[in-house]
Structures are given as C-alpha cells and as structure tokens.
Structure 1
Amino acid sequence: MTERTLEQDGDGAQLDTVTYDVVVLGAGAVGENAADRAGRLGLSVLVVEHELVGGECSYWACMPSKALLRPGSVLAAARAVPGAAELVQGTLDPAAVLARRDEFTSHWDDHGQVEWLDSAGIALLRGTARFTGPKELVVEAEDGDTRVIARHAVIVATGSEPTVPGIPGLAEARPWTSREATAVKDVPASLVILGGGVVGVEMAVAYRDLGAEVTLLVRGDRVLDKAEPFASDEVAAGLRALGVDLRFGTGATRVERDERGVHLTVSGPQGEGEVHAEEVLVATGRRPRTADLGLEAVGLEPGAPVAVDDALQATAVADGWLFAVGDVTGRTATTHQGKYDARVVGDVVAARFSAGSAQPGEGAAEAQAAERDAAAFTRYRASADHVAVPQVVFTRPEVAWVGRSEQEARDAGLRVRAVQYPIGSVAGASVAADGYSGTAQVVLDEDRGVIVGATFTGPDAAELLQAATIAVTGEVPVDRLWHAVPAYPTVSEVWLRLLETAGL
C-alpha cells in the first residue's frame, strides 16, 4: 500500500510525503533485484536513484568494459586457428568498437530500465536520499524535496565509488576513473594506469587492443593480488606480450597536466623518473558510497561500509528495519555476487513483512524470530559469500577463480593440497587454439575430501568456472566428481586430468 500526503517542513514550507512498505536506495542491478524480490508477496516498493536506473554495471562497468574487451579477444582467438588466421588482417577498428559499446550502454539512456521497473510494479523517485531518522528520509531533487517513510524496511544498495589517492597534483590533473575509461569517446594515443587490480589490468588490455600505448604502474610486486600467484604471473606475462609497459614497485609521487597531456613523477626500483601520457587512469580501489546518506541520523558512520549479518540486516541498527546489500556492505565487490545477496535480502524482507508471513497465534516479534532461526537452513541466508565467491578477470589470458586460494585455506586452518594441470595438454584445448596456454588448479581439503577453491587461466577460462562453483558451493565429494564425465574433446576434460593428477 502506498500513501501520499502534504506536510510542512521546519520552515513552514509544504513537503510532499510518500509512504511505502519498502524503500530501496539505489537502482543499480543490485537494487533492482532487491526491489523485485521484496515486492513479490505484495509489499509496495519504492526505489530512489539520483543517476541512471541500471547503475554502474549497465553504464560504466561490467557491460561497457566487456564490450571493449571482447573484440580483441575474438581477434586473438581467430589468429590462434590456422585457416582462420590467414583471413585476419590488420587491427581493431576503434570507432566500431566504441559504437558497439554504446549499444550495450543504450547510449546512456535508462528508458528501458525505467520501463522494467514500471512493469514490475516498482515505483521510482529520482533524487538524492538522506536519512533523517529511523525509516525516514528526505529525497532532494531539482523540482523539490520529498519526505519518504518506509513502513517496514529500508534497503541500502548505493554501491561504491572510485577512490583517488592524495598524490600531489593528481586531482587537479582531472584523472580518469573507471567511468571515464569505459565511456571514452576518443581513444588516446597513450594512457598511464595507476593500480594493478581488476580495473587496471582489464583496461590495460582494452586500450592496447585499441592502439594506445599503455604504462601500468603497480605499487606491489604483482597484479591481481587476490588471485593465486601463478595466475598473477601469467597475467603479467600476457600484459607484457601485448606491449604494456608494466612496472612493479612503482608509484606516482606528483602529477601535472598541461596542453601536451599528463606528466607523472614516479618512484620505483630504478629510482625517480617521469612518465608522460595523454591520459591517466586511477584504478587504485573503491569505497562504499555512504558518505552523503545521513547515516549518522540512524547511528552509523558516514562513509563506512554498512555491516550486515547473513540476512543482510544491518547489525548496528535496532529493530531490524535497515538492510544493506552489494558493494556498500564490504562483503562483495562483483555484480553477480551482489545480485545473489539482493535475492537473499529481497526474500528476507518479503518473508518478514508481507501480510500472512506470521503464523497463526504468533505475534510479529515471534514470527520474525522464527524466520531468523529458520534462515540458517533456508535460502534466506547469504552463505555463498563466505565460501564460494566467483571472480572473472577478462584479460589475456582470462583468469577465473572461486572459493579459497591455497594460502587462504591454510590461513583458515585447513589441511589442503593444491593440484595443478596445464590446460593446453587437454585435447579439447588443442582443438580450440594452437598453442593454447593456461593452467587449472584446485585446492583440496584433505580431511573432508572436497574442493574448497579453484583457479583457471587461459582463453575462455571463465567458461570453466561454473562447474567449480557448483563443486565448491555444494561441497561435492571428490570421489563423486569421478562420475561427472566431461565430454570429449572439450576443455572441460581438464577436470578429469586434475583428479588423475591428485591420485584420486
């Protein structure tokens, strides 16, 4: 049920007030999924968004970045197969690549996403939300402010934003973040990238494919420091093979921009030097987008992640009305895992607050307690966040992993053994590409006889990941995996070779 009234604010001005059962802050992919699930049992749902409906993934992250990376991957795949390779001439057409990217972002027009909200019965209010108290917010917009009241729950799904380190001159040099890198209209002749995480390495590949000279500065001693070391090494070798000037142990100490471009003073193993480029991309990390939400009005720290339990309920807010999901919690940093959490939180909110959710003879408090107790044994629990988070990096080679790395497993006190196999030795890989190069590794829990982590590198390595995710999430005994017969000749035959190598 929705209510709309006119009230007066503290200055006597009229303030439009709307009341919904559930209010979702953020209409990205995560917020959309949470809103959809929360409303499936009849609750009225309002989504508040100050930018484009569809969020970061649709317009500045997942979709445009992969659209930029895919043409180079296809070209490399064709060149690896004699008979096709002879027909491949020249390099990518940057204008065509960017035009196809524009199609994937709907030319930064969210009309289609708004239509989906309408079709799902989800209301949209455009503006910037700020808490004024428990279950109460003010949404500021150009055409006036609106007071918003949530009867039952507020779900924070505002995502994250890039951080720009305090290097002297960097902010004044108008650096790119991931948004500018994925929305570029013209490819620069040269680009320097700060940071060796997912955004840094993917954009290094994309811009090399598009013809830019790329320098990648990494403060540490490897790229992708959350991946297995062998995967980091293979990606680094792949970047250098593409012509990326990759420098480890190197950071910028000063940045200046003039009419010729950007000039960075850098310090590294060889001492101090300079790097010059048309543009500089900052890819050094992200932070939760909570600084301007007015979290102090509900007892939380602005700018910090919203800590949640496995039902995605905020742990530091009383009465069980505040939830958070996606990047803003610090639990997850991918769209697919955020959407998983969104399905969980939407189901939790629908189950707790929809009419008829309480059992006969139970009051609201008892019903909520029963639901929370049941959460440990039902789908209303974000358990995959702890054991089976999948990650894909669309570099060349691709890297895909799920679960714990070998070191993480040992740090958790598990008695594990890592088993590797060269994917190129599998018949299906030799059919897929001449000179196929890649590695498969599984981390075996010796005491329980299950796989707790897996990593794959190589062309289209991401396609191997779902089987591993099922094995890790389902804790499938490895003696049962013997009976999961891989088709021949496919790259998936590497699963059989891993079991053989493990002596199982």
Structure 2
Amino acid sequence: MNTSPEITPEAAARDTAEDTYDVIVLGAGPVGQNVADHARAAGLTVAVVERELVGGECSYWACVPSKALLRPVIAVSDARRVDGARQAVTGRLDTARVFARRDHYVTDWDDSGQANWVKSIGADLFRGQGRIDGPRRVTVTAADGGRRTLNARHAVAIATGSRPVLPDVPGIEEARPWTNREGTDSSQVPGRLAIVGGGGVGVEMATLWQGLGAQVTLLARRPLLPRMESFVGDVVTQGLTEAGADVRIGVSVTGLSRPDPAGPVTLSLDDGSRLEADEVMFATGRAPRTDDIGLETVGLAPGSWLDVDETCLVRGMEGTWLYALGDVNHRALLTHQGKYQARTAGDAIGARAKGLPLDNGPWGDHATTADQHAVPQVFFSDPEAAAVGLSAEQATGAGHRVSVVDVDFAQAQGANLYADGYRGQARMVVDLDREVLLGVTFVGPGVSELLHSATVAVAGEIPLKRLRHAVACFPTVSEVWLFMLKAYKG
C-alpha cells in the first residue's frame, strides 16, 4: 500500500531547466489521468501531481469498491427473482469473500499499477501536495518537507476531486461517523448501521450493508434520490423496505452521542425520537478539494467550486491557462462525466498550444455540451435507477413544451423473462417542438445496461420518427423502447 507522498527519484534528479512542462495536472484520479493522456497524445510534456493514491477517490473509496461490493448483493437478489434459481439460494453471502473481491478490485490499495501507467504515457509523476503559486506555477511539497517548483508553458489542470461534508451537528466528533471511505473500505459488518442522506451514496450504501447482513436504518429529509423523477425514489424505497431496511423520510439528526468509543452511537432526531446504532454514516453532500491548492495566489477563493466555460477553462482568469475538471467544477459529480470533460479539455489544451482553431460550438470536439444536455447517471440500488438528460420538471422549468410518456416494464415480455413479476417503470420526456428526447429515466432490475441506448438517443437528438426504426431484440428488457414509442404515438 503506497500512501506516502514523495517526489519520485526520477523527477528529483532533473535539473532546474527541466522543471518546466507544457501541462501540469493536479490530481491523478481518472479525471487527471485522462487530461494527461490527451495532452500527451497532442505531443505536450506533462507533469502529474498526486498527494495521495494514484487513481483517486473513484478507484479506492467510491465507484470501484462500492460496485465490487454491491455486485454480489444484487446478483443474489436477481437470482431470487427467478423461479428455479430462487431455490438455489440457501444461505447468506460469504462476507469474507465479498470483502476479498473488493480488495482485489482496489488492488489492496496499492497504486503502483496506476502510477506505472502514468509513467507509461510519458508523463512525470510527482508525489506530494501541489499548490498553485501564481500563474502557471505549482509547488510540490513532499511528505518529508522537500519542495519542488514546476512551471507550465500552457496549462495547469485542476482535477483534485471532492470530499465528504459532515454537517454541524452536536456530538458529531464524538460519534466518529463513517463517510463513503469507511463505507467502502470497512471489512466488518456492523450489527446496526444508521445512514443519513437519501442521495445516491446513501441509497447504494443502504443496499450494500443491508445485503451484507447489517440492520440498516436510512434517514432522509426528502424522498430518496430527489434529483431523479419522483417515482424512482418510491420504487427504490419499496425495494429497500422489502430487503429489511428501515427507511424514514422527512427526519433530520439533531444530535449525536457516543460516550464509550467502543460502544454504540445514539442519534437524536427532530421528531423527538432516538435511534441507537453500532455505526453511523453520513452521506449528506460533498465539497471541492480546492481549499489547500493555492487558489488565493491567482485571485480565487480557497475551497470554492470553480466556474468554467465549455472547454473547462476557469472563467475570470487572465490568459488561457487554468482548467478545472471533474468534481471541482460542480457540473456533475460523476467519474464518467469528469473523464469526458478531461478528454475534451485535453484536446482543447493541445489545440491552443499549437495555435489551432477551437471547435467549441455545441457538440464540437472542444465543447463539453453533454454537461448541459445529456449527463447519464446510474445508482446501483436494488432495483437499479438510471437516467439521462432532463427530468420532466427540469424540462418544463427550462421552457420546453413537453410530452411525458410513462410505461410499466411489465408490458415487455423480455422484462418478465428477465425476472418473474418484473417491477419497474420507464419514462421519456419528449420535446414536442422538435420531437426529440430531452430525457429518459428507468428504474428496475438491470436497467443500468439500458442507459447507454438512452444516452445515445438524447445526445444524438435522434428524431422519434427515426428512433422507431431502431428495432429492439425480442425478448429483451430493451423492448421497453417499443412500448414507450408506441405510447407516445398513441
């Protein structure tokens, strides 16, 4: 496990003249890696700075470990939905093997493979805390206090991600709550787990730990997954409840108490009740990791989200040198969307460095147009929830004249063959003036694999008249498209 930030010997051996690079990337997660890769492909020299593990939050404490842990839970649940397979499920999950599977996919928190990949593309890796020190200048401080200065000819790209935010609740320090990190790297199943927050992280962690044998209580002020269509939260709530979780909507935590560090934690709720749990996890929001990267040296507020243009160039800066990618620009706190931004920005950096014209109009090679129109998201709850584009409420609020088409998955024979008594719902939001899709939402078993077809339809602005010629194979869950288009046509 490599967690000690230090400047690599290769980089330390360089002389001062070689401390200038075309591009400096702060953060070596998937987003930082992608912008570095595209800048290198454009023939630019690149330095990548990482203060923790190369691979970032996604690889070690978020997307990868959570999905590695969730897959066995959902696989067993899927088997129970099919007669004949249901009878084969005779025991509980082997939690030791589930955790070992997680450990395999996070490479036991050893980042040497990803560090070697960064070097393999021809980028130099610097381990340490990177801080901007004026325009086009970055200092790197290693764990032993050693400092190194890097200068950028063309660009500094901030890809430092986000961190969990803990609310200001009395007793929270004493309670020592979990965040997404403990929720994905722990290898002991608590008897009772209270999860605060009904967004994607809270819902996935409730699904995971209930499936591993904890008694989960999920507390949320609003209906679950509030940024999606309202019916999604209803279906997911039903799924969690049927799995044995206690889902309480419309409640808040007003205080915490854990006088014995080895004992249970008591949560005081705003309805006057108390809840005792062995562990408590907060999934109540995120903040950008921009508080200690030197933003003040270029006139920006430390700890702030960074406003960017269509090429991910930070607005309000003199010159075209500072970029912000992924979580830090607050457009979509999703790894795949950050990687899309990084690919686009890396190409734009290369074009600007060569003095080439930018293709930054809508849907151009150097424009992150999908950030506004076609952001896909999946939550691996049970059942799964997936959506792309605008919800009906968002589309109406944006001034579109829309038609909302709702279809029960049970109409598709393929869905019923996938799971006996398949329960799920699909919705498409149609722009009546152009007859293209503005958004699509699915909730049901296995719907994550349907989402890319919807993303292609929304991003491609495929006319519904043409979309009806995209024939869904029989008998698959994707037959739901046939019924959605038929319902729209009437």
TM-score (structure 1 length as normaliser): 0.92
How far is the alpha carbon of 1:17 from its aligned partner?
Answer: 7.8
Counterparts of residues 431-442 of structure 1 (less than 5 Å): 431-442=417-428
Structure 2 gap segments, 5+ residues each: 1-10
CA distance in 2 between partners of 1:249 and 1:80 (Å): 31
1: CA distance, partners of 2:339 / 2:91: 40
Partner amino acid, structure 1, of 2:383: P
Task: Confirm whether residue 169 of structure 1 aligns to residue 171 of structure 2.
Answer: yes
User: 1:256: how far off?
Assistant: 1.3
Provide, for residues 9-68 of structure 1, a one-character-per-residue CA deviation record: whole Å limited to 9, x for no partner. Answer: xxxxxxx98221100000000100010001112111000001100111110000100111
What is the rounded CA distance, in whole Å, between the counterparts of 1:185 and 1:485 in structure 2? 45
* Residue 324 (structure 2) aligns with: 324
1:497 paired residue number? 483
Is the counterpart of residue 428 in structure 1 residue 430 in structure 2?
Answer: no
**Which amino acid is the alignment partner of residue 58 of structure 2?**
C
Deviation by residue 1:346-376 (Cα, 9 ceiling, x = unmatched): 10111111xxx23xxxxxxxx5xx42x6555
- Taking the aligned partners of 2:34 and 2:153, their CA distance within structure 1 comes to 20
Corresponding residue number in structure 1 for 2:228: 227
For 1:339, the aligned partner's letter is: K
Say yes or no: does 1:458 pair with 2:460. Answer: no
2:363–2:370 contact (8 Å) kept in structure 1: no
Q: 2:467 aligns with which of 481, 496, 499?
A: 481
Give the whole-Å Cα distance in 2 for the aligned partners of 1:88 and 1:207. 19
1:267 aligns to what? Answer: 270
Distance 1:374 1:27 in 2: 26
Match of 2:190?
188
Distance in 1 of aligned mates of 2:138 and 2:120: 25
Identity %: 50
Shift of 1:255: 0.7
| Whole-angstrom distance in 1 between the partners of 2:33 and 2:187 | 28
Q: Does the CA contact (< 8 Å) of 1:17 and 1:149 recur in 2? A: no
Offset of 1:77 from its aligned partner?
1.2
Q: d(CA) in 1 for partners of 2:273 and 2:362?
A: 56
Q: Which amino acid aligns with 1:107?
A: D
Q: Distance in 1 between matches of 2:49 and 2:151?
A: 12
Matches within 5 A, 1:381-420: 381-420=367-406
Contact 2:363 2:369 in 1 (8 A): no
Is the contact between residue 17 and residue 146 of structure 1 (CA under 8 Å) also seen in structure 2? no
**1:362 aligned residue:** none
1:425 Cα deviation after fit: 2.0
The answer for unaligned runs of 5 or more in structure 1 is 7-15, 359-366
SS across alignment from 1:137 = strand
Distance apart, 1:324 and its partner CA: 0.8
1:346 counterpart = 2:349: no
Within a 5 Å distance, the mapping from 1:294-333 to structure 2 comes to: 294-333=294-333
- Contact 1:4–1:19 under 8 Å retained in 2: no
- List aligned pairs for 1:206-285, cutoff 5 A: 206-220=208-222, 222-257=223-258, 258=260, 259-268=262-271, 272-285=272-285
CA contact (8 A) 1:34 1:345 kept: yes
Q: Residues 264-285 of structure 1: CA distance to partner in whole angstroms, max 9, x if unpaired?
A: 11113xxx01111111101000
SS state at 2:470 partner = coil
Indicate if the aligned counterparts of 1:17 and 1:147 stay in contact, CA closer than 8 A: no
Q: CA deviation at 1:81?
A: 1.5
Q: d(CA) in 2 for partners of 1:477 and 1:400?
A: 22
Q: 1:377 Cα shift?
A: 6.2
Counterpart contact for 1:311–1:375, Cα < 8 Å: no
- Show the counterpart of 1:9: none
Distance 2:189 2:248 in 1: 22
- Separation in 2 of the partners of 1:322 and 1:229? 38
Please provide the CA RMSD for this pair.
1.5
Distance verdict in 2 for CA 1:137–1:462, change over 3 Å: same
Aligned mates of 2:185, 2:443 — CA distance in 1: 28
Paired amino acid for 2:294: G
Quote the Cα distance in structure 2 between the aligned partners of 1:496 and 1:245: 37
CA shift digits 1:232-262 (9 cap, x unpaired): 1111111111111111111111111123221
Q: How many residue pairs align between the two structures?
A: 476
Secondary structure, in 3 states, of the residue corresponding to 1:253? strand
User: Aligned partner of 1:347: which letter?
Assistant: D
Following TM superposition, by how much is the alpha carbon of 1:172 offset from its aligned partner in structure 2, in angstroms? 2.8
Give the whole-Å Cα distance in 1 for the aligned partners of 2:384 and 2:334: 16
SS of the aligned residue for 1:318 comes to: coil
Secondary structure in structure 2 of the residue aligned to 1:306: coil
Deviation at 1:290, TM superposition (A): 0.3
